[in-house]
Chains A and B, each alone.
Chain A
Amino acid sequence: SFQTHKEEDNPQKTMEVNGLTPVPDSYDYDLIVIGGGSGGLAAAKEAAKYEKKVMVLDFVTPTPQGSSWGLGGTCVNVGCIPKKLMHQAALLGQALQDSRKFGWQFTEEVKHNWMTMTESVQNYIGSLNWGYRVTLRDTKVTYENAYGEFVGPHTIKATNKKGIEKLYTAERFIIATGERPRYLGIPGDKEYCISSDDLFSLPYCPGKTLVVGASYVALECAGFLAGLGLDVTVMVRSILLRGFDQDMANKIGEYMKEHGVSFIREFVPIKVEQVEEGTPGILKVTAKSTTGDQIIEGEYNTVLLAIGRDPCTRKIGLDKVGVNINEKTGKIPVNDEEQTNVPHIYAIGDILQGKLELTPVAIQAGRLLVQRLYAGATTKCDYVNVPTTVFTPLEYGACGYSEETAVEKFGEENIEVYHSHFWPLEWTVPSRDNNKCYAKIICNIQDNERVIGFHVLGPNAGEVTQGFAAAIKCGLTKEQLDSTIGIHPVCAEV
């Protein structure tokens, strides 16, 4: 049912007078945000600051295994947050081993309890879900736990869990529906396999696990599962970490191999069958070689699919309002102001074509977009030199060009790569690897040896990389790097 819009003197009239798009004056909301994740919530909260009437629609379609979660999107519920906490649990396992050499004494074998960890993590996530609901309420943003889809140029149909439908209208829309894990499309995948959507709330220890995929999601999950003491195998179709610097990707893989993760390279699963029911049960996986006819079989308690993510854009009525999407990938192309081909409809976050799938990028884009819409700002989101970190057992931080992309763009003779292995001081006493940690910078010789790529493999890579990203934003050159004094003794001084 339509709701009449109260009379307000607002910029709409001014816009009309200035010859911009003629705007009816009876919308329910100034802005409806579809998707309550990192990007969506940031945009909604920002808009509320400018006293706009905002609604957020968030809905989680349960996974094939039945997992679901609360407000906050991927990052909070099934992404960055639980991932980093479980990674931390694995790191603590390593710390336990180290601590003996530093004088701490305890019984020989320490076991890990999956349920204790998962409960702690889920409790924390629950507090975040709650926190978001409170914040939305406090900032007077209307929140509905309902599935939103376009039914008209300015109209959204919202369907809640019970199937009740409501219609809402708005002057503008921001699509921030994010993505969900992809399935293989082979027999048994949806029935028996899990994805990252299920892993972080799994009510039983996954046991012997096969991780299918070579994305950062696959490697991070495989990494912490192994760190918690589980038997982990990763099945990779071709290369690791596509899109990342391959030199670094290989080092990450090597490290994981040396630390208990098995790899099956150049195979893809073709069938998953259940051998035994249970929590976990036993699954049989049949896989085929990508280079020949060889078939292999293996038995695992859990099969985790991490082969990629697909945008949630196919079933939200975009065709009804004429918003173009890339038919193949499902991603939405936008201009540099996050505007789709339909002027009053915008998009941010993981669903954007050609942009990075990162929480801070989505948040930045959402905030700046809203500031441009309602606060007269002109700053656009800067997608260049965005730093990132892969939280594998040996962490990898990067900012700027990979070595191969730099060579491609500038030519091998025009770039200089400086590199070094290093041995974190904290690894000396417990006799951990002395030639695995590594750092390299890529400089553009023709531009004053400007640093165009930064890569570091080692503990706390994220903490190390952040400051360097700021320096790269300031146009850091090799000379300036050389003249900066190191803090001693830390890894970052390398």
Chain B
Amino acid sequence: GKNEYDLLVIGGGSGGLACAKEAAQFGRKVAVLDYVEPSPRGTTWGLGGTCVNVGCIPKKLMHQAALLGSALKDAQHYGWNIAQPVHHTWSVMAQSVQNYVKSLNWGHRVQLQDKKVKYFNIKGSFSDPHTVSGLTKAGKETVVTADNIVIATGGRPKYPTHVAGALEYGITSDDLFWLKESPGKTLPSFILYVSLECAGFLTGIGLDTTVMMRSIPLRGFDQAQMASLVTEHMESYGTKFLKRCFPTKVEKLKSNRLQVTWKNADLNTEETDSFDTVMWAVGRVPDTKTLNLETIGVKTNSETGKIIVDASEATSVPHIYAVGDITEGRPELTPTAIAAGKLLAQRLFGQSSELMDYDNVPTTVFTPLEYGCVGLSEEAAVQCHGSDNIEVYHAYYKPLEFTVAERDATQCYVKMVCLREREQRILGLHFIGPNAGEVIQGFALGIKCGATYPQLMKTVGIHPTCAEEVTKLRITKRSGLDATVTGC
């Protein structure tokens, strides 16, 4: 056509880059726009999006740092002579992590270059359905036109602006991973998995950490057990919780510390305490403000602000698509964004008609004791099929490595939700324990193949591992029997 590019991708994150690179494979002319609006504290980063810069990658690395802290304690039991307690230096960790992230930014730029994808570091907004324009850092106006446009601008952390001082004095995950100095005594606030994961590793590296939560932890995840087991473990691990509390204001003290005032909904009291850092993790908002979507008619959900798409990732405007965290009703996960982006490119340019399957997407919450899951939560299964039609198998187990290390395994737990009728198809699998992600991944495959309880029982366990406990599930919740695993 008359447009300069076959495909323009707005947003150089997991979904955007995957889509762009895939399209380039088909010999198409592709351009990517990526731009990071600095956070209120001034934090910014390079190409790669949330996952690489302020999400999955630095999160997992800092989680690993915390896990290594536990390993150091265990090591003594296993014969290693280390003088306890061992101290952690934030700046050493932060620098290592930040250096690695920067190498990924670099790697992405090289990849785009190799695949002949044009990269613009500009903040784009729509002038018309085929035209996007923006200013470069130097102030130069750039206009890009394309036959097809994919919006993959992701989301940014929300600030609770109704809380006085929240914006001026608080930070978010956007800033946490780039801090040069230790956050000290931190208060992440509210409970989403982002908050629990951050609170978890901050506690693990030795910081005095408190989580303030208004209502339930891990909204959207299995509430029948899993969410509370995760938080219970964190409490025994050392993270403090202020439950049923919500902040009313944040003020700066002369010492430069922050004073937080909050209401305790249960006791109906007001309390205060001082912290070095207050981190908000109250949700993320889609990054659509400056795109100018209303002008070109791309419909968004009035409540969430996310872009409405159909099963083929198409928006309300022909030739304009959206993938990733910005789309309504999709899981906010890197692998789904990548898969959706790739499939979209294959449909647009590769004569494929395969749609993205969003069912049974496995995920893991990287709290100090990890929680991996795939499929339905217990309550969703009950809602869908009725409690008489589902069977829940479960077990409390103890990882072998915890024995000699004398670690508490109270919350190590696995449960499988199945249909009760003949075949006993597995609807959901939930696992709390070390390496939960590694454990769940293979089973997610099984569930994709329509795995049934009898098939799982026919699978011989690998010994000694934690994952084998899944193949040994025999006790049902319905039976009321003690579900603690005892010995081989």
A interface with B by C-beta (< 8 Å)? 38, 41-42, 72, 75-76, 80-81, 84-85, 88-89, 92-93, 95-96, 98-107, 110-118, 120-121, 124, 128, 131-132, 135, 228, 358-361, 363-364, 382, 385-389, 397, 425-426, 428-429, 460, 462-471, 473-477, 480-481, 483-493
Q: Does B351 contact A (CB under 8 A)?
A: no
Point out the residue from A85, A121, A425 that lies within 8 Å of B61, measured CB to CB: A425
Q: How far is the CA of A84 from the CA of B400 in the complex (A)?
A: 8
Q: List 10 A-B contacts (CB under 8 A).
A: A92-B80, A105-B88, A106-B86, A360-B463, A429-B64, A460-B438, A470-B446, A471-B445, A473-B458, A480-B448
Residues of A within 8 A of B91 (CB): 103
Whether A104 contacts B467 by the Cβ 8 Å rule is no
B145–chain A nearest beta-carbon distance, Å: 33
**Cα separation A75 to B96 with both chains bound (whole Å):** 41
Partner of B460, one of A76, A80, A92, A364: A364
Contact B93 A471, beta carbon cutoff 8 Å? no
B486 close to A (CB within 8 Å): yes
Q: How far is the CA of A115 from the CA of B451 in the complex (A)?
A: 46
Contact call B466/A463, Cβ cutoff below 8 A: yes
Partner of A476, one of B69, B80, B362, B446: B446
Q: Which of B83, B335, B435, B450 contacts A474 (CB 8 A)?
A: B450
Q: Contact between A428 and B446 (Cβ–Cβ < 8 Å)?
A: no
B290 at the interface (CB under 8 A from A): no
B residues within 8 A CB of A42?
A: 488
Contact of A493 (CB < 8 Å), options: B94, B441, B459, B471: B441
Is the C-beta of B216 less than 8 angstroms from some C-beta in chain A?
A: no
B415-449 residues with Cβ-Cβ distance < 8 A to A are 435, 437-446, 448-449
Q: Which of B78, B91, B437, B487 has the most CB of A within 10 A?
A: B78
CB–CB A490/B438 < 8 A: yes
Contact B401 A88 (CB under 8 A): yes
Cβ–Cβ contact A105 & B89, under 8 A: yes
Give every chain A residue within 8 A of B488 (Cβ-Cβ): 38, 41-42, 72, 75-76, 128, 359, 363
Given contacts A462-B465, A466-B465, A476-B446, contact A112 B79 (CB under 8 A): yes
Set B82, B97, B440, B442: member contacting A96, Cβ < 8 A: B82
In the complex, what's the smallest C-beta–C-beta distance from B399 to chain A, in angstroms? Answer: 10
Main secondary structure on A side of the interface with B? helix
Q: Distance (Å) between the CB of A201 and the closest chain B CB?
A: 14
* B window 51-65: CB within 8 A of A: 51, 56-57, 60-61, 64-65
- The reply to whether B64 and A96 form a contact with Cβ atoms under 8 Å apart is no
With A89-B79, A104-B69, A484-B448 known as contacts, the answer to whether A489 contacts B60 (CB < 8 A) is: yes
Q: How far is the CB of A455 from chain B (nearest CB, A)?
A: 13
Decide yes or no: A81 and B400 within 8 Å by CB, A468-B442, A474-B450 being known contacts.
yes
- Distance in angstroms from B85 CB to nearest chain A CB is 10
Known: A96-B72, A104-B87. A466 touches B470 (CB 8 A): yes
Most buried by A among B65, B92, B400, B461: B461
Within 459-479 of B, Cβ neighbours of A (below 8 Å) are at: 459-468, 470-471
User: In the complex, which residues of chain A have a beta carbon less than 8 angstroms from the beta carbon of B446?
Assistant: 467, 470-471, 473-474, 476
Measured in the bound complex, the distance between the Cα atoms of B400 and A4 in whole Å is 44
A96 touches B462 (CB 8 A): no
Chain B residue nearest to A388 in the complex (CB): B462
User: Considering the complex of A and B, which 3 residue pairs feature the smallest CB-CB distances, nearest first?
Assistant: A467-B442, A103-B93, A117-B79
A452, chain B: closest CB distance, angstroms: 14
Contacts of B404 in A (CB 8 A): 85, 88, 117, 120-121, 124
Cβ of B19 within 8 Å of any chain A Cβ, yes or no, is: no
B36: which A residues are within 8 A, CB to CB?
none
* A470-B459 contact, Cβ under 8 Å, with A102-B96, A135-B487, A493-B441: yes
In the complex, what's the smallest C-beta–C-beta distance from B230 to chain A, in angstroms?
16
**Cβ A470 vs Cβ B455 within 8 A:** yes
A104 & B88 in contact (Cβ 8 Å cutoff): yes
Given contact pairs A102-B96, A487-B362, a sample of 14 additional A-B residue pairs in the complex whose CB atoms are under 8 Å apart:
A84-B400, A95-B68, A103-B88, A105-B86, A107-B83, A110-B80, A120-B404, A385-B459, A429-B64, A462-B464, A466-B468, A469-B442, A473-B455, A487-B441
- State the Cβ distance, B345 to closest chain A Cβ, in Å: 15
Of A72, A105, A397, A489, which is in contact with the most chain B CB atoms at under 10 Å from its CB?
A489
Instruction: Give Cα A116–Cα B406 distance, bound, in whole angstroms.
Output: 14
CA A37 to CA B325, docked complex, whole Å? 53
| Cross-interface CB contact of B442 among A116, A117, A132, A464, cutoff 8 Å | A464
Residue of A nearest to B51 (CB): A488
CB contacts (< 8 Å) of A474 on chain B: these are 446, 449-452, 455
- Give the bracket for the number of chain B residues in contact with chain A: 35 or more
**CB of B363 within 8 Å of the partner chain:** yes
Q: Is the CB of A460 within 8 A of B435?
A: yes
Do most interface residues of chain B lie in helix, strand or loop, or is the interface mixed? helix
Q: Determine if A467 and B437 form an interchain contact, defined as CB atoms under 8 angstroms apart.
A: no
Is B100 an interface position by the 8 A CB rule? yes
CB atoms of B72 and A124 under 8 A apart: no
Q: Which residue of A lies closest to B357 (CB)?
A: A483
| Cα-based distance from A464 to B364 in the complex (angstroms) | 14
Using CB atoms, name the residue of chain B closest to A103. B93
- Given the known interface contacts A84-B400, A111-B81, A466-B467, the answer about A492 and B442 at a Cβ–Cβ threshold of 8 Å is yes
Among residues of B, the one whose C-beta sits closest to the C-beta of A119 is B79
Give the docked Cα–Cα distance between A286 and B269 (Å).
Answer: 81
Q: A102-B64, A102-B96, A112-B80 are in contact. Are A468 and B463 (CB under 8 A)?
A: no
Does residue B74 face the partner (Cβ distance < 8 Å to A)?
A: yes
CA distance A480 to B438 in the complex (A): 18
- Contact A360 to B460, CB < 8 A, known contacts A101-B96, A464-B438, A485-B339: yes
Asked whether, in the complex, the Cβ of A485 is within 8 Å of the Cβ of B333, the reply is yes
Our pick among B80, B205, B400, B455 for the contact of A93 (Cβ within 8 Å) is: B80
A113 CA to B78 CA in the complex, in Å?
8
- Nearest A residue to B400 via CB reads A84
Q: Tell me the complex Cα distance, A111–B488, Å.
A: 33
Q: B293-308, CB under 8 A of A: which get 1 and which 0? A: 0000000000000000
Closest Cβ–Cβ distance, residue A268 to chain B (whole Å): 31
Asked whether A99 and B364 contact (CB < 8 A) given A111-B81, A470-B459, the answer is: no
Q: Are B467 and A132 in contact (CB under 8 A)?
A: no
CB distance from B318 to the nearest CB of A (A): 27
Point out the residues of chain B lying under 8 angstroms from A228, CB to CB.
79
Q: Is the CB of A466 within 8 A of B449?
A: no
Contact across chains for B458 and A382 when beta carbons are under 8 A apart: yes
The residue of chain A having its C-beta at the shortest distance from the C-beta of B336 within the complex is A485
Contact of B462 among A465, A480, A481 (CB under 8 A): A465
B77 at the interface (CB under 8 A from A): yes
Say whether A485 contacts B83, CB under 8 Å: no
Q: Is the CB of A103 within 8 A of B459?
A: no
A471 contacts which chain B residues (CB < 8 A)? 442-443, 445-446, 448-449, 451
- B64 surroundings in chain A (CB, below 8 A): 102, 425-426, 429
Report the minimum CB–CB distance from B442 to chain A (whole Å).
2
Q: Does B456 contact A (CB under 8 A)?
A: yes
B334 contact set on A, CB distance < 8 A: 488
Chain B residues with CB under 8 Å of A462's CB are 462, 464-465, 467-468
Check B455–A106 contact: CB distance below 8 A: no
**Residues of chain B contacted by A104 (CB below 8 angstroms):** 65, 68-69, 72, 86-89
B90: interface (CB < 8 Å): yes
Closest CB in chain B relative to A441 CB, distance in Å: 11
User: Chain A contacts of B96 at CB under 8 A?
Assistant: 101-103, 429
Report yes or no: B335 in contact with A493, Cβ–Cβ below 8 A.
yes
- Note all chain B residues with C-beta closer than 8 A to A361: 460
| Nearest CB in chain B to that of A356: its residue | B460
Considering the complex, give the chain A residue whose CB is closest to the CB of B81: A111
Quick one: which of B94, B333, B441 contacts A490, CB cutoff 8 A? B441
Partner of B75, one of A72, A93, A480: A93
- How many Å from the CB of A26 to the closest CB on chain B? 34
Q: Is B265 an interface residue (CB 8 A)?
A: no
- The answer to whether A80 and B464 have CB atoms under 8 Å apart is yes
Closest CB of chain A to B470's CB: distance in Å? Answer: 7
Q: Tell me how far the C-beta of A43 lies from the nearest C-beta in chain B, rounded to whole angstroms.
A: 13
